[in-house]
Amino acid sequence: MSEKISVVVVGGGAAATTVAAALDKTLDPSRHSLTLITESDYLRHHPAALRAIVTAEGNLEDQICIPYDKVFGKDKKGGAGRVGTVKFGKVISIEENANEEGGAIVLENNERVKWDYLTIATGSEWNGPLRWPTKREDVKSYLDNWRERLATAKSVLLVGSGAVGSELAGEIVEFFPSTEVTVVNRNPLPLNETYPDSFRERVKAGLTGRGVKFIGGDSVSSLAPNVLNGTESVSPGRSITTDKGVKVAADLIIPTTGRRGVNTHFLGASSSPSAANINKSLVAGGHLDVLATLQLKTNPRVFAAGDVVALPEQHTLIKAANHAPVVAANIFALIQANGDNKKALKNYTKAMDAILITNGRTRGVMYVDLFRFFGRPIIFGDWLSAKLKSNGLLIGMAKGMMNQD
C-alpha cells in the first residue's frame, strides 16, 4: 500500500480550524491524513477576551476558552475526525524537500510531522492584555492577575486606540466607572484610515461621552518590557508625561497597540534553513507573499491564511473566514490533480471591510463598507451593536464554529 498523502495545517485560530474542518469533510481516509498542529490547547475567542480580563462576571473564561475535541464535528471526540487529528506542540522549524514536494514540521519536542501539502495560519502575536497563556490550566491565574490590578488602579493609561484600545477603554469604564481612563493615540482619531473619519469620530465620541480622556496625535515612547508583556504592577499615584509633554495619571499602563507582529518566527534562514523556497515568500513583518489562490508564490504546495498573509487588507475575522474555504478547496483540487499546479484553482476576492467596536455591554458603533447613502457611509449605533456583539460578544458563533453549541 502506498503511503498516505499528508496534509498539515499549522495554527489554532479561526482560519486554521476552518481550513482543517473543511478538509476533514472532503479528504479520503484511505488515501489521506490530516493534522492540525496548534501550540495552544484551547481556542481563545478574541472578541470576548478584553471583557474577560476586566471582570469575572459571567465566568467568560469557561465560554471563550474553547477546546479542540469537537473541531471536526459535533459527533467527534478527542479531536479526531474522519481524517483529521489534532496535535498539540510548538513548531520550531519547517523542512522542505529539494523538489518542493513536501517536507516535515519540526516540533519543540523534536517530533517531526511529514507534510505533502501545508497551510500556515499561525496568526498574530500580541502586546499586553491579549498575550494569553497557551495552556488552559494557566488562564485563571492570568485573568485573576489582570482583574486584581484593574480593580486596584485608580487611573489607567491605554497606549493605542485601535480596536483593542477602544474596546478595552469601554470595558474598564463599564465595570469600574470611577477609574480615570486615558487613551493616548498616535493618530488624531481612533483606528486607522481604512475606516471613514465619521466612523472614527463616533468611536471617539462614544468613549469621551463616558468620561474617557482621549489624547490624539501623541504617543508614549519607550514602554518598559514589563509594560509590553502585561506584567507591570500597579503604581499608586504615578503620573507619566507623553512625548508632547502632557502629564497623565497612570497607576497602570496597558499597551493597546494591538498586534506586535505575526507568528512566523519558525521560518527564515536561521530557524528553517532547508525551507529555502518557503523562506523566499517571507516579506516585511514576517508576512507571507501569496498568489490570488493563497498559495505561496515560491511553493505551490504551501498555502497561507489569516493574519500571516501579505495582502493589502485589514487582518480581521471576516478576512480569515473568507481565506479558509479558498485554501481548503484549492488543496483538495491539487490533490485530486496529483499536484498539477496547472489545475484551475479558486482565487480569493477581498472580503468587505466591516468593524464593530463595542463600548461596554450595551453600547458600540459599527461600520460596513457595503452600506452607503448617497455615497456617504452608514454608521450603526448602540442598539444594533449591542444586539450583534456588545452584549453576547459573538460567543455563540465561536462555539458553533468549534461544534460546542
Segment holding 231, helix H or strand E? none
The pLDDT mean for the chain works out to 93
Residues of the chain with CATH 3.50.50.100: 128-259+352-401
- Domain at 128-259+352-401: CATH code: 3.50.50.100
Residues of the chain with CATH 3.50.50.60: 5-127+260-336
pLDDT at 230 (0 to 100): 87
pLDDT at 376 (0 to 100): 78
pLDDT at 22 (0 to 100): 96
Among residues 128, 125, 194, which one has the least CA distance to residue 159? 128
- Read off the pLDDT band of 373 (50, 70, 90): low
pLDDT at 127 (0 to 100): 83
**Of the ranges 102-116, 326-340, 343-357, 358-372, the best mean pLDDT one:** 102-116
Name the class of domain 5-127+260-336.
alpha beta
pLDDT at 81 (0 to 100): 82
Cell numbers describing residue 399: 462555539
Question: If you write DSSP's letter for every residue of 178-215 in order, what string do you get?
Answer: TSEEEEEESSSSSS-TTS-HHHHHHHHHHHHTTT-EEE
User: What value does the mean pLDDT take over residues 24-51?
Assistant: 96
User: In this predicted model, what pLDDT tens digit does every residue of 231-261 receive, in sequence order?
Assistant: 899 999 999 999 999 999 999 999 998 788 8
User: In this predicted model, what pLDDT tens digit does every residue of 300-353 receive, in sequence order?
Assistant: 999 999 999 999 988 888 899 999 999 999 999 999 988 676 678 999 998 888
Residue 396 pLDDT greater than 80, yes or no = yes
In this predicted structure, which of 7-11, 46-50, 272-276 has the lowest mean pLDDT?
272-276
Count, residues in the chain:
405
pLDDT at 92 (0 to 100): 96
Collapsed DSSP state (helix, strand, coil) of residue 336: helix
Residue 380 pLDDT greater than 60, yes or no = yes
